[in-house]
A and B are shown apart, each in its own frame.
Chain A
Amino acid sequence: MAGDNQAMPRIVAAQMLAPDAKQFRIEAPKIARRHRAGQFVIVRVTPDGERIPLTIAASDAEAGTITLVVQAVGKTTMVMNDLDVGDEILDLAGPLGTPSEVDDFGTVVIVGGGVGTAVAYPVAVALREAGNRIIAVIGARNRSQLLFEHELAALPAEVHVCTDDGSYGRAGLVTDALQDVLAAESIDRVFAAGPIPMMKAVAEVTRAAGVTTIASLNPIMIDGTGMCGGCRVSVGGHNRFACLDGPEFDAHEVDFDLLASRNRAYLEGEAARRRELHPCEVTVQVGGGEST
């Protein structure tokens, strides 16, 4: 429900980036002006709809727009991806979350898996602007699912690509490529965003190598303002609310198994809702946000 005199945010550009990932540019001048890398918005697209968090992939303060990249994994994201230029977003609140820590660390490896690459992209931009050398290790199920390869290359960044099926770049996991990068040179920091098993594996690799690693977590959220506690994650044995204190945390301190199990809380019910919406679709792996 928008308030009075309040224009609903309008979509000014929309484009498919991958078979199930769509990029939107949305008029939101105030959010665009405030946005810092690492922050997200809460979106609601229908009157009966859920509130879902989406990372601000880019913002243009002058044009007054923000960019979102949405991977269709469930009802809300599917309905959102049916929207097009000229459509309005019912509810859009943000920017939310604590911005990324941005400094000149030296050489930073950005690890992105699936739509996680869109989450990591604004952080890569900010770190590059702060003077860091950027190495991007990005992965997807196959070539058509790969996001932001060219945008990252243009930063500039050295880009390593991995696909599960070997249809492009190296066949295999981003952690294999990451391990090679860590073996080849001295890395000052790693940033990871993607499916939970990927972030967990990255944390294990970099822990062994002793490299500070930040992960952008994706717990289930409702309000995104610290009111419900549903987004709580365990970091260093303490509960933290990802919408307030995160979504980025020290990956070596995060309890990823807990995050994965909490994100599976509604799997059964959601599978039913997806079937209602797209009855003939064969849906694969959504559990724990593994969808890449």
Chain B
Amino acid sequence: MSELSRRERMKREPVSMPERPAGERAADFDEVNLGYSFDQAVAEAERCLLCARPTCVQGCPVSVDIVEFVHRVSNADLAGAAEVIAADNSLPAVCGRVCPQETQCEGACVLAKKGKAIHIGNLERFVADVARAEGWATTSDPAPSGRRVAVVGSGPAGIACAGDLVGMGHEVTVFEALHELGGVLAYGIPEFRLPKAIVEAEIDRLRQRGVHFETNAVIGMVDTVDDLLTTEGYDAVFLGVGAGFPRFLDVPGENLVGVYSASEFLTRVNLMRAYVAGSDTPLIEVEGRSVVVFGAGNTAMDAARTAVRLGADPVTIAYRRTREEMPARAEEVAHAEAEGVVLETLVAPVELLGNEAGRLVGLRLQRMELGEPGDDGRRRPEPIPGEVLEVTVDVAIIAIGNGPNPLLLRATPDLDRSERGTIAVDSDTGSTSKPGVYAGGDIVTGGATVILAMGAGRRAARAIDDYLGTDQAP
């Protein structure tokens, strides 16, 4: 491969992600983004300036060695690239698809200022997809240590922790409350953004490496954390139970039929496959009906785009700030709009209106404007007096965030909590107030991101390995 000059690299245009046309993809649940071809990946990788002090790496929460892996892609060394990524990221096929790259690696790329940041996420996804298709193993596990670790929750934190622990020779069992594995990756993020087959492949890989999985195991209700450490004979426990406790708006009418939390709507569709003919789990008919989603994070975009695919029309995102403040990944907002989702900004619900049968029929919305910055530095939305509008609507979906689920916490009262009700941990190790018990992911941070949960799972695995190697462990 001929070496390009810095100038030539800078002149080249970014290779955009090939995607299915909006009109076509909005009618089914197949993946929207098609992924790079080999040539496209190499062409994109060749644009990288291979900076001596790569700012992109600082933007990545787990410091993937971006320069090195991108360099290997440009040299067509995909197996080598996969190995470099795997050193820091155990779920690259997932992160390549769902990381908020524009605020992380790509946002920190020196080329970002010119709007020509390297598409690091697309490249990471490409490498991971090829590695999966080719069956490249990047790990060989050591001899058994004779130590057993219980991982509670099969989301990205739990999966990453389990993968590293088995790689350190420990025997690992993952306990999952639901009947399917993967956490939010299975029940939350829809198929069209993250195909279930990718999550299943990651789980299968862990299975092949000897990780045991137990589904329908609600820890706290069946075995408690103490049971795991005593009668069940585990030497340590990792809690990666996520933040799956839906918040509601606290306005009148929220319990009308036709009002869903995003978790319920997405669980019915993704986990229970309500979109597939033959599934028994019902969904309130949305075809040809109007759907309003409150919130503007990834969850809200996923709910709105799911409603579009189920035939809802119109689908509106109602958000109390402006488009600039929307917390969702930029790509999701753009995709939602292209698929016909209406972005209605600077409105807040004051009441959900029902008919005599208790069914949602309308909304009363308050017009807002942005006022002075609040404690978080963001300009606070404030109501414009007297500007209240009424709209008709058939289904409302509330996507304003999740708190920590109290189920396991109540059953484990000796676990210290933070002010926000999440599990308090040592940020370097993930160790909790309970000896031998570690935690990470959304249950520690509150609703965050896949990459942060993954990173926390891996940090905890290292700390657990240390703990098991010392005399502290029983």
Q: Hey, which bits of chain A sit against chain B, CB under 8 A?
A: 1-6, 30-31, 34, 42, 44, 46, 48-51, 75-76, 90-96, 222-223, 225-230, 232, 234, 239, 244, 257-258, 261-262, 264-266, 269-270, 273
Let me know if B245 and A226 touch, CB within 8 A: yes
The 8 lowest CB-CB distance pairs between A and B, nearest first, are: A261-B358, A228-B264, A3-B213, A93-B216, A229-B261, A266-B282, A227-B244, A91-B179
Binding stretch for chain A, among B54-62, B111-119, B131-139, B271-279: B271-279
From residue A255, how far is it (CB to closest CB) to chain B in Å?
8
- A-facing mask of B424-455, CB < 8 A → 1, else 0? 00000000000000000000000000000000
User: Is there a chain A Cβ closer than 8 Å to B22's Cβ?
Assistant: no
- 22 sample A-B contacts, Cβ–Cβ < 8 Å, listed by A number: A3-B181, A4-B212, A5-B214, A34-B221, A48-B280, A50-B281, A93-B218, A95-B222, A222-B267, A223-B177, A225-B177, A226-B405, A227-B244, A227-B267, A228-B261, A230-B261, A244-B406, A264-B357, A265-B258, A266-B282, A269-B282, A273-B280
Binding site secondary structure of chain B? loop
Other-chain contact of A225, B207, B276, B405 (Cβ < 8 Å):
B405
What B residues does A96 contact at CB under 8 A? Answer: 218, 221
Using A222-B272, A239-B254, A269-B282 as known contacts, say yes or no to A3 and B405 having CB atoms under 8 A apart: no
Other-chain contact of B215, A46, A91, A225, A258 (Cβ < 8 Å):
A91
What bracket does the count of chain B residues touching chain A fall in?
Answer: 35 or more
Report the Cα distance A92→B217, complex, angstroms.
9
Let me know if B179 and A229 touch, CB within 8 A: no
What A residues does B222 contact at CB under 8 A? Answer: 30-31, 34, 94-95
What B residues does A75 contact at CB under 8 A? Answer: 280
- Measured CB to CB, the nearest residue on chain B to A9 is B216
Other-chain contact of B178, A34, A49, A223, A264 (Cβ < 8 Å):
A223
Q: Hey, which bits of chain B sit against chain A, CB under 8 A?
A: 176-181, 187, 207, 212-218, 221-223, 244-246, 248, 254-255, 257-258, 260-261, 263-264, 267-268, 272-273, 276, 278-282, 284-285, 357-359, 405-407
From residue B368, how far is it (CB to closest CB) to chain A in Å?
25
Report the Cα distance A236→B179, complex, angstroms.
33
Let me know if B267 and A223 touch, CB within 8 A: yes
What A residues does B285 contact at CB under 8 A? Answer: 269
What A residues does B217 contact at CB under 8 A? Answer: 3, 93
What A residues does B280 contact at CB under 8 A? Answer: 46, 48-50, 75-76, 273
Other-chain contact of B255, A94, A228, A258, A269 (Cβ < 8 Å):
A258
What A residues does B260 contact at CB under 8 A? Answer: 230
Let me know if B278 and A266 touch, CB within 8 A: no
Let me know if B278 and A1 touch, CB within 8 A: no
From residue B424, how far is it (CB to closest CB) to chain A in Å?
20
Using A232-B255, A265-B284 as known contacts, say yes or no to A3 and B176 having CB atoms under 8 A apart: yes
Report the Cα distance A1→B222, complex, angstroms.
18
Let me know if A265 and B213 touch, CB within 8 A: no
From residue B221, how far is it (CB to closest CB) to chain A in Å?
6
Other-chain contact of A222, B264, B278, B359 (Cβ < 8 Å):
B264
What A residues does B357 contact at CB under 8 A? Answer: 261, 264
Report the Cα distance A266→B281, complex, angstroms.
10
Let me know if B406 and A227 touch, CB within 8 A: no
Report the Cα distance A4→B272, complex, angstroms.
21
Report the Cα distance A137→B255, complex, angstroms.
32
From residue A76, how far is it (CB to closest CB) to chain B in Å?
6
- Measured CB to CB, the nearest residue on chain B to A96 is B221
From residue B226, how far is it (CB to closest CB) to chain A in Å?
13
From residue A243, how far is it (CB to closest CB) to chain B in Å?
9
Let me know if A229 and B246 touch, CB within 8 A: yes
Let me know if B257 and A262 touch, CB within 8 A: yes
From residue A230, how far is it (CB to closest CB) to chain B in Å?
5
Query: Other CB < 8 Å A-B pairs besides A94-B222, A226-B244, A227-B246, 19 of them?
Result: A1-B179, A1-B180, A1-B181, A5-B214, A48-B279, A50-B281, A91-B179, A93-B178, A225-B177, A226-B245, A227-B187, A228-B264, A230-B260, A258-B358, A261-B357, A264-B357, A266-B282, A266-B284, A269-B282
Report the Cα distance A227→B263, complex, angstroms.
7
What A residues does B278 contact at CB under 8 A? Answer: 48
Let me know if A239 and B248 touch, CB within 8 A: yes
Report the Cα distance A167→B378, complex, angstroms.
69
